[in-house]
Structure 1
Amino acid sequence: MRSSHPRSAAVAAVVATALATGLLAGSAGAAETDAAAGSIRIHDIQGTTRVSPLVGKQVTDVEGIVTGVRTYGSKGFWIQDPDADDDAATSEGVFVFTSSAPTVAVGDAVKVSGLVGEYVPGGLNSGNQSITQISKPTVTVVSSGNALPAPTPINEYTVPAEYAPAGDPAAGGSINGLTLDPARYALDHYESLEGMNVAIGTSRVVGATDPHAELWVTVKGWENNTRRGGTLYGSYESQNTGRLQIQQLAPLAQQPFPVANVGDRLTGTTEGPLDFNQFGGYTLVARTLGTVQSKNLEREKTKPQAEGELAVATYNVENLDPTDPQEKFDALAKAVVENLASPDILALEEIQDDNGAKNDGTVSAGQTLTKFTAAIAAAGGPAYQWRSVDPANNKDGGEPGGNIRQVFLFNPARVSFIDRAAGDATTATGVTQEQGKAALTHSPGRIDPANPAWADSRKPLAGEFVFRGRTVFVIANHFGSKGGDESLTSHHQPPVRSSEAKRLLQAQAVNGFVKQLLAADKNANVIALGDINDFEFSATTKALTDGGALFPAITALPKSERYSYVFQGNSQVLDQILTSPAIKKFAYDSVHINAEFADQNSDHDPQVLRFRP
């Protein structure tokens, strides 16, 4: 299972690097001073900020009770001082990094000597907070079978409503050097419990069990609820303070991790040390794990389009290629037919080439699409045709060798595709006029593929369709990913979202193209859709909608239904359909069939829009 990112054996080198770069504060004389034996307690090591005042120093005979032992991943154990001080900002627990399987047991009273360090999961450039730890330890077991320190409860009454303090401008926006205020800020509250034995009671699952044996709960049952039991991330200020990741201490070979969907309950008491890791921030690593109570969440089905309605959908099918098992093709096809009601036009993202991630220069995806459309027909769906433009090899990002691209599927019994001098990977489609109406110069064609905004990213695919005599322009998008952005638990507050710069340029390019279409025909039916990889309240979406060229249709839904993806327990928007002003009336549906479930065919929920052109 994936736990905290494995710590480097050279912890001292990590500490020295951190000190040298100024990321962490502390003594520059690593290991130069030995604390007097028995005089240093755990709360002295933790201090009142996120960085130990003793970082880089040797400590001797630090006393504590073992509260958790981890024999996989980052091997080590947690100790806690049962004799707490009276300062709420200082944690009484700390992780002892052993690098090999620890020889202590829960309940042992120990004395630990070693080097105090600050380990940053994911590396110094990740923006992650650090974990205070003792490394290269010498451990003496004083006694065994001792009672554990009573767990500190984490619940709706103990976790503050405000998420984090603003970072110190003098420290580049970092909160590392700020004195913790655990009664005011949620992140400070969790940090003040780092390494301690904590417990939660019955809590709602807001992030389904993932392949790495972890799930997310909220201890605040009322915080920004979605209609189906999740927690909504509806603004940059809605971080949702009650979210907490749950893992377990027992290896999976000894104890399977429970399977849970969003809306289920983790009942009873879940208790164990509070860790911090690269993939989820603050994490309760359960020594005692509650029981999952299913709420039997069902996958949604959208309403079929009426005879005079055009149904347009978008679906990220997560790196689909012919080497995937037939079961994946069949499951995705069944979803298209049964859950999406066989939309007339379906824009697909992440269709890979004919041999998937094999990096041999193959760029065609005909085999992938033949296999998928055959599966749809076998599931009772229409005989979809497709249009796309093959990318240049390894120029569109994604998995190396996979050559992902957007593809249009369309039902020829309901809608026609207007083929106009199909473009290639590097040829831009443009806008012209025919009999006073807008038209594309290349259909299918790519929008401005030479624009630096699309470097190592998927170029938008534009196509011209006709439904019941009316022309509809569809632009399928897959904007740059959020890879490289700092997490909500970053030591920078607000976190650095570096990926936004590229998506902003991409949105401006698409917006400019839509404006060209509207300049040729102000009443043109234009739909821009796909995996936008950004929120409905983001600068990306604002750029897409600039000048009223497009409207983010998902905002027509009640707030509790505005999401297509679940990340770290936050239900959020990544997939969107946007409409031009001529499309005044429509029905919109974010069809929740994947993101909330442990059993997923993709990590995205598809979106469907129905309207009468």
Structure 2
Amino acid sequence: MRVSILSAVSLPIILAMPMLAQAKSVITKTAITKTPMASEVLCDAENITPIYQIQGTGSTSPFVTAQSNESVKEVTTTGVVTARAERLYKGFFIQDPLGDGSPLTSDGIFVHWGASAPAEIVPGMEICVTGKVQEYSGFTQINLELQPKYKLGNQVGEIAATPLQVKEGQSLAQALERFEGMKVMLTAKSDMTVTRSFSLDYDSYRNNMVLSHQAPLMKATQVYAPLSAEAIALNKANISNQLVVESDYKADHGKVPYFPSFNAENGYIRIGDTLINIEGVIGYSYDKYRFMPINEISGSDFVRNQDRSAAPAIANQGDLRVASFNVLNFFNSPFGGDANPLGHNRGAKIESEMLLQRTKMVNAMAAMNADIIGLMEVENNGFGELSAIQNLVTALNDKQPTELAYQFVEVTDNNGLVGSDAIAVGILYRPAVVTLDGLAKVIATPEQHVKEGVVSRIKDGVKELNPAYKKYQRHSLMQGFRVNDQKLTIVVNHFKSKGSGCLEDWLSFNEDSEPEDLQGKCNAFRVSAAKVIGESIIDLDGDVLVIGDLNAYGKEDPLAVLTDYDANRSERVISTASHTRLNGLDHEAQGLVIDKGFGLINLNTQAHGAETYSYSYRGELGNLDHALGNLSLAARLVAIEDWHINAVESSLFEYSSKYTGELAKSDNVYSSSDHDPVLIALSYPEAQASNVAVIKDKAAGASLSFLGLLLLSALGFGRKSRRLTV
């Protein structure tokens, strides 16, 4: 007589029988619910293949063939339903309640139905299924889509979640393979950290978040030179250290399905938070492991490893504070402001959103207490009463005492415009603290103009001619100041973004893909800008501080050119872009090989090591916003801080209502932009600099006092450990 494997034995009884831990869960004499094709499912002991045998110890099931990614024959297995999947996956998850006790195999598996499974298949229900084993895009599953052969047993209660743990020496991906298809829970020992906050995933156009093991991910080229063995290894490790937290149903805009108290004031999610007490099942799709939550959590389940701060720690340090702040396309032209050169609006679409954006930024600037602020992405519509920069300054001064009010540096030529883009850089300053030294100077940056068909490449043995290219980047702004009778020159920059391609990307077949060196598109074009900036400051006297959004991470080529690059000591060849023009004239027809950098010092790296950040992109942190000083300026450094109010927050808290639904916004400083502001505290004592000898360093355009040398030596800041704290 054939006997069913399914039973009415409840989970408490199973848990009370540890002697069965290594045994098959074969229980006899259970009634079977009548279901489609139930007669074809032979759920007796000799026909059952345990889930853990189907999963095997490798990355793919031992039952599938390499040719078809499918088993030759059908298999029959049994388990308890742990979760239904209606949208993210179409089917249900089952798990052997006993398992084999092996750390190398998974006790759970996904059963693919192809649509919504019958309503009777619910968590806690015993089930027996027969179908072929498949590796669907790397996800092991039993396929019931064409022939749903299954039998239901009894409701035995839901299986307890298994704590997810990554063992010493394992990568997260290796650990997740062992948990694939299983119901798991994240605990403190899981050490799973938010590496991308809940926000729109532009790959799937779903709101989700990403976790990594132990610490948020750092961009490889933030800490290592492009194409170095270390950068390649870190990038590979980052790819395997991601777990996407993805709800079954596509989340409604502005809502976190498993975190109902999500809000901008006290229900936030920050990169660096450790997530605990959440249960879900492990799936795999689109080259990523996914955690599908099945319970709800609260704010206390996010352990704050570095919580929000109301103000930067260094807001009152030093004699002078300088900040760099990307203001996320602050535009006022649609709301009665002057027009920009392109007539485009890249900012708020309605006035209430613009006012919220301004309030959040003003609150952040007031808390920073900087004496000079370099701005990026402010609308390029002049300096009149109806300009964006005047609009911003007026609102900012409403929060300042009169003696600390700000003014903006004004450009008088080119009709009061800084370049020809819709956005520009700008400078705010406190006249009570610093005075202007001369007129502002706009530093034009290179443009790339290439006619169609002037260069060629060979692709698949066929000669191809180039498309036309017209590429621009924002001009830079330079202004001299006097600080306690000392000369300080500030240069504010905003280099070309990494998004759209330049000619060099086409020549290297990267017009539709990310460049192998991980520096993004138009890298050589940014190098061209860095070279022009370096040449513009090389002969300046006094202290020089170069700030802004360089759209390049800490070890990438534009930073190397501005700092310590030496072709004689580097295996990497750095070149500028070809076919460039400058100030309307031909500039460099061919890319120029750089032989030596301009000698500036990366102040953040000097103070904190390489693992600093102001921006998050695709779950990786790094610095796009920099502060580079010549030797004499570096000797004045008291402190530098990336104030983490934006990069680690959810973009859903920004001013825009796009993709946020009914989510209530806040006028607090968090998510006031997508970049963190950088604050630099400097020492400018009132009386002393005139009493010391000065050493002139012409190559770096710097003066360095003997006192400054001693101070620079004393500021040998300790490096961070590899584990990032945010």
Kept in 2: contact 1:113–1:137 (CA 8 A): no
Shift of 1:335: 0.8
User: Aligned in 2, Cα 1:531/1:98: closer, same or farther, shift over 3 Å?
Assistant: farther
Matched, 1:535 2:553: yes
The structure 2 residue matched to 1:382, chosen from 406, 417, 428, is: 406
Q: In structure 2, what is the Cα distance between the partners aligned to 1:416 and 1:375?
A: 22
- Paired amino acid for 2:604: I
The correspondence for 2:294, drawn from 262, 273, 287, is 287
User: How far apart are 1:524 and its partner, in Å?
Assistant: 6.2
Distance 1:384 1:141 in 2: 75
Matched, 1:272 2:272: no
**8 A contact 2:82–2:183 mirrored in 1:** yes
Cross-structure match for 1:424: none
Partner Cα separation in structure 1 for residue 297 and residue 163 of structure 2: 15
Secondary structure of residue in 1 paired with 2:173 = helix
Alignment of 1:67-466 (within 5 A): 67-82=82-97, 84=99, 88-103=103-118, 104-112=121-129, 118-119=135-136, 130-134=138-142, 136=145, 138-139=147-148, 140-148=150-158, 151-155=161-165, 158-161=166-169, 184-202=170-188, 206-207=194-195, 209-211=197-199, 214-215=208-209, 220=214, 236=231, 244-248=243-247, 256-257=259-260, 258=262, 259-262=267-270, 266-267=275-276, 269-276=277-284, 281-293=288-300, 297-301=308-312, 303-304=314-315, 309=320, 311-317=322-328, 321-323=347-349, 325=353, 326-338=355-367, 340-349=368-377, 351=378, 368-380=388-400, 382-385=406-409, 389-391=418-420, 405-411=423-429, 413=431, 414-416=434-436, 443-450=441-448, 459-466=473-480
Match of 2:519 among 500, 520, 533: 500
The answer to whether residue 608 in structure 2 is matched with residue 558 in structure 1 is yes
Q: Decide whether aligned partners of structure 1 residues 194 and 319 sit closer, same or farther in structure 2, where only a CA change above 3 A counts.
A: farther
Query: For the structure 1 residues 138 and 88, does the alpha-carbon distance in structure 2 shift closer, same or farther, using more than 3 Å as the test?
Result: farther
Match of 2:497 in 1: 480
Q: Deviation per CA, 1:463-511: give whole Å up to 9, x if none.
A: 2212017362514124433799xxxxxxxxxx97554164642453234
CA offset digits 1:83-105 (Å, max 9, x no partner): 64576544343334445433331
Query: Cα deviation per residue 1:193-226 (whole Å; 9 max; x = unaligned)?
Result: 2222222223575457524565556664xx6999
Q: Note if contact 2:322-2:680 (Cα within 8 Å) is conserved in structure 1.
A: yes
Amino acid at match of 1:270: I
Residues of 2 paired with 1:560 and 1:551: CA distance? 13
Measured at CA, do residues 69 and 529 of structure 1 come closer, stay the same or move farther in structure 2, by a change above 3 Å? farther
Letter in 2 for 1:573: N
Q: What's the secondary structure of 1:602's corresponding residue?
A: coil
**Counterpart in 2 of 1:487?**
none
CA contact (8 A) 2:217 2:621 kept: no
Report the equivalent of 2:70. 57
1:609 to 680, 683, 688: 680
Equivalent residue pairs, number? 481
Cα distance, 1:274–1:556 mapped onto 2, change above 3 Å: same
TM-score (normalizing by structure 1): 0.64
Contact 2:84 2:93 in 1 (8 A): yes
Q: Does 1:592 align with 2:620?
A: no
1:244 Cα shift? 4.8
Distance 1:457 1:449, change over 3 A: closer
Runs of 5+ consecutive residues of structure 2 not aligned to the other structure: 1-40, 201-206, 225-230, 332-346, 412-416, 451-467, 502-513, 566-596, 654-670, 685-702, 704-726
- Look up the equivalent residue of 1:313 and give its one-letter code: S
* Contact 1:507 1:543 (C-alpha < 8 Å) held by counterparts: no
CA distance in 1, matches of 2:471, 2:393: 26
SS at match of 1:444: strand
- Relative to structure 1, the CA distance from residue 304 to residue 69 in structure 2 (aligned partners, 3 Å threshold; closer, same or farther) is same
Shift of 1:331: 0.6
Distance across 2 between alignment mates of 1:591 and 1:219: 24
Alignment of 1:561-572 (within 5 A): 562-566=612-616, 571-572=621-622
Give CA deviations for 1:281-300 in whole Å, capped at 9, x if unaligned: 43432223454327563233
**CA–CA separation in structure 2 for the residues paired with 1:482 and 1:86:** 48
CA distance in 2, matches of 1:537, 1:573: 10
Can you list the C-alpha shifts for 1:583-606, whole angstroms capped at 9, x where unaligned? 232232211222333442223211
Q: CA deviation at 1:523?
A: 4.3
Secondary structure of 1:409's match? strand
* Contact 1:530/1:575, CA 8 A, preserved across alignment: yes
Matches of residues 24-39 of structure 1 in structure 2 within 5 Å?
Answer: none
Report the residue type matching 2:198 in the other structure.
D
CA RMSD of aligned residues (A): 4.6
